[in-house]
Chains A and B, each alone.
Chain A
Amino acid sequence: MSVGGINVLVDETRAIQDGKRAPLLSVRGVKTYYGNIIALKGVDLDVHEGEIVTLIGANGAGKSTLMMTIFGSPRAREGRITYAGQDITRVPTHHIARMSIAQSPEGRRIFPRMTVYENLQMGASVNGGTHFKEDLDRVCDLFPRLRERLYQRGGTMSGGEQQMLAIARALMSRPRLLMLDEPSLGLAPLIVKQIFSVVKELNERDGMTVFLVEQNAYHALKLAHRGYVMVTGTITMTGTGRELLENPQVQAAYLEGGRH
């Protein structure tokens, strides 16, 4: 991993060295239910400032549920979620969104009838439109495709463009912690590469903390400082990205054919 100028070196050992410092996001014993069905069976997870943490797992493992639970919908029935030292377990979703956490949820959820520009305006709702132009320029530099299509309706964009828009919209609120749910879903390998390099850039250049949920385990683990593996509502494994990549169990379950 390279050292980038004045930016602090962020490597695999960082998390361990920082063990004494409180993590930016901490999830402790969280249980989430859909009605009577339990989706998260007591999850523990930490994300430290400046890290990229990835969460991998099979379909239906509960990855998206964990991400949404951190955001307060659905609510954790048991356990504790703290962010920047504050207990956010019972805080309403829209308040959490104002604590400089942003997410690009599963399925993108952009506003299809609104233009790209308006979608980005919605992303900036949190900070009331101050420094909007500046942020607009910034995300358009990250995704030049968006600048070309500022007045196109969100719903008429291609899947990859919509994904870029979803990430850009999340970035408009200048988050400290960015949570992305399967940003590579359904995208061509080239676009996936592009999106992952943007994530890396955000992390290394701006020091943004990233929590990444991914199916594309190989790329995600390569990118991440640390990773978690989730199986049916519980975390079964954790370690640095490289450790998980080299783990035979992970290789057997998640990396079959994923190496390219």
Chain B
Amino acid sequence: MNAPHAMTAGTAAPATARYDWGAALKDASLAALVTLGLCIPIVLLRTDQGAGVDLLLRPRIGMVASFVAAVFAARLLHHVLLARRAGRPLVEQKAEVRTTPNAVPWAKMGLYAFMGVAMSFPLIVFLIQGGLSESRYWVDLGILVLTYVMLGWGLNIVVGLAGLLDLGYVAFYAVGAYSYALLSTTFGLSFWICLPLAGILAAFWGMLLGFPVLRLRGDYLAIVTLAFGEIIRLVLINWVDFSGGGAGISSIPRVTFFGVPFSADEGGFASLFGLTFSPMHRVIFLYYLILGLAFLTAFVTLRLRKLPVGRAWEALREDEIACRSLGINTTNTKLTAFATGAMFGGFAGSFFAVRQGFISPESFTFLESAVILAIVVLGGMGSQLGVAIAAIVMVAGPELLRNLGFLKAVFGESFDPNEFRFLIFGLGMVAMMIWRPRGLISEREPTAILKERRAISGSHVKEGHG
């Protein structure tokens, strides 16, 4: 159908000029067949409780058919898209790239939009759910997501900007959490004093990790940081006198409203402000606390990127030797990246401790590091908005799928989304890898734009594949 265009352009390879529809059909049928094969053991038969104790086998042929049809259609659609891309004349393609708007304002707007939604989230939930205690689940989920957004943004400094692959980020999260827990339970220090201390301690540990790994890059660096994370966890488990061992630390003091406790009695937050007491006050305060901390992380990162040190981080990621010959002290640059990233991990850790009231080494396993790293990588290394979206998808996604009712409308009343939660999540991840292998937002945002900016086409700013 598009073949004539390609011919006139005269540049496309003959193989792509004419799309092989027979093969496409065959491919789609094959995919459908595979789906059928998969569906027979998994989806076809459903066991229902009969009238008595006996089980009834209920075939779900309609459902299998819809799955197969969906796969067939999707595969064919894929081919149609491929064919259009192959058949598009080259000139036209170029023109299209040129009109692509510059990604810069778009990413910034997105970040602001995210901030706006995050700020009003408790209110929105309150209005939708119609009550404070009813919205508890959602606000809790929001806190969880924001914790990971913050951790993602923190790790983003190390991995995304400075290009130092850190698999042990959870260690700094742990240092922050234990700093608050130990300082508050042993010395009775308040959260607001412990928070900066936890950040400083974590930054200090970040430097400690930084020194031995200064000469390492890539895989080697990843292995050492992985080991570092495990060492911290094992020390916390085994040094029972210090950290309480595997049993962890409990009854960590709760967060206060800058000294005013969230309690029902006289002098508590509620009575001070003339409100009726609700445990949700504390939860909402926690929400805004983590939101503030996350914004602080984002703000500091955005600022630093425009300063020489942030620019040096990014340059370091690109070419260390060039950096050195331009007079950059790469040792200091790496250490500041590690320390800054670790500091935000420490803040997040002490928030975690004050929220939970109980911490143990269980919470700081490698899996946590992996999730945080996945958020950074999926988000597109270095992109703030991308990381935020990835955190939502990775953390809230599985939770939300639990509640998706509309799938019932598609697949019939008997469909339980719970069963397919991880399937859908997995499909999403695979789709990401196919279409956005460099992360959700892979476009790096330039840090400096002159006022008298000239009109340059999008193709100039668009990044090459490398």
Q: Do they bind each other?
A: yes
Question: Chain A residues in contact with chain B, CB under 8 A?
Answer: 71, 73, 92-95, 97-98, 102-103, 105, 109-115, 117-118, 121-123, 125-126, 128-129, 148-153, 155-156, 169, 173
* A125, A128, A149 pick with most chain B CB within 10 angstroms: A125
The verdict on B134 contacting chain A, using a C-beta distance below 8 Å, is no
Question: How long is the Cα–Cα vector from A152 to B464 in the complex, in angstroms?
Answer: 11
Q: Please, which residues of chain A bring their CB within 8 A of the CB of B466?
A: 112, 155
Q: Please, which residues of chain A bring their CB within 8 A of the CB of B315?
A: 111, 114, 122
* A105, A122, A126, A169 pick with most chain B CB within 10 angstroms: A122
Whether B446 pairs with A129 at a CB distance below 8 angstroms is no
Nearest 3 Cβ contacts at the A-B interface: A97-B327, A109-B322, A126-B327
Q: Please, which residues of chain B bring their CB within 8 A of the CB of A129?
A: 308
Binds A, one of B44-52, B244-252, B455-463: B455-463
Q: Please, which residues of chain B bring their CB within 8 A of the CB of A115?
A: 446, 448, 461
Q: Closest Cβ of chain B: how far from A108's Cβ, in Å? A: 9
Closest to A149 in B: B460
Question: How long is the Cα–Cα vector from A117 to B454 in the complex, in angstroms?
Answer: 13
B404-430 at interface with A (beta carbon < 8 Å): none
Q: Please, which residues of chain A bring their CB within 8 A of the CB of B444?
A: 113-114, 153
The verdict on B314 contacting chain A, using a C-beta distance below 8 Å, is yes
Given A118-B447, A125-B312, A153-B464, also A110-B327 (CB < 8 A): no
Whether A118 pairs with B322 at a CB distance below 8 angstroms is no
Whether B327 pairs with A98 at a CB distance below 8 angstroms is yes
Question: How long is the Cα–Cα vector from A110 to B325 in the complex, in angstroms?
Answer: 11
The verdict on B66 contacting chain A, using a C-beta distance below 8 Å, is no
Q: Please, which residues of chain B bring their CB within 8 A of the CB of A122?
A: 311-312, 315, 323, 326, 328
Given A118-B447, A121-B311, also A113-B327 (CB < 8 A): no
Question: How long is the Cα–Cα vector from A93 to B205 in the complex, in angstroms?
Answer: 27
Q: Per DSSP, are chain B's interface residues mostly helix, strand or loop, or mixed?
A: loop
Q: Please, which residues of chain A bring their CB within 8 A of the CB of B312?
A: 122, 125
Whether B448 pairs with A117 at a CB distance below 8 angstroms is yes
Within the complex, which residue of A95, A105, A153, A173 is in contact with B322, where a contact is CB–CB below 8 Å?
A: A105
Within the complex, which residue of B314, B329, B450 is in contact with A117, where a contact is CB–CB below 8 Å?
A: B450
Q: Closest Cβ of chain A: how far from B103's Cβ, in Å? A: 12
Q: Please, which residues of chain A bring their CB within 8 A of the CB of B460?
A: 149, 151-153, 156
The verdict on B319 contacting chain A, using a C-beta distance below 8 Å, is yes
Q: Closest Cβ of chain A: how far from B106's Cβ, in Å? A: 16
Q: Closest Cβ of chain B: how far from A107's Cβ, in Å? A: 10
Q: Closest Cβ of chain B: how far from A64's Cβ, in Å? A: 12
Question: How long is the Cα–Cα vector from A78 to B308 in the complex, in angstroms?
Answer: 35
Whether B325 pairs with A173 at a CB distance below 8 angstroms is no
B315-356 at interface with A (beta carbon < 8 Å): 315, 317-319, 321-330
Closest to B447 in A: A118
Q: Closest Cβ of chain A: how far from B332's Cβ, in Å? A: 9
Closest to A115 in B: B446
The verdict on B453 contacting chain A, using a C-beta distance below 8 Å, is yes
Given A118-B446, A125-B308, also A151-B453 (CB < 8 A): yes
Within the complex, which residue of B326, B446, B449, B450 is in contact with A125, where a contact is CB–CB below 8 Å?
A: B326
What are 6 A-B interface contacts by the 8 Å CB criterion? A94-B328, A105-B322, A113-B318, A114-B314, A115-B461, A128-B308
Within the complex, which residue of A97, A111, A117, A152 is in contact with B325, where a contact is CB–CB below 8 Å?
A: A97
Question: How long is the Cα–Cα vector from A231 to B324 in the complex, in angstroms?
Answer: 28
Q: Closest Cβ of chain B: how far from A117's Cβ, in Å? A: 6
Given A122-B315, A173-B326, also A113-B463 (CB < 8 A): yes
Known pairs A114-B444, A152-B461; list 7 more (Cβ under 8 Å).
A97-B324, A115-B461, A117-B448, A117-B450, A125-B326, A153-B444, A173-B327
Within the complex, which residue of A95, A118, A128, A169 is in contact with B311, where a contact is CB–CB below 8 Å?
A: A118
Whether A151 pairs with B327 at a CB distance below 8 angstroms is no
Q: Please, which residues of chain B bring their CB within 8 A of the CB of A111?
A: 314-315, 318-319, 322
Given A105-B322, A113-B463, A118-B311, also A94-B447 (CB < 8 A): no
Closest to B102 in A: A151
Question: How long is the Cα–Cα vector from A118 to B314 in the complex, in angstroms?
Answer: 10
Q: Please, which residues of chain A bring their CB within 8 A of the CB of B311?
A: 114, 118, 121-122, 125
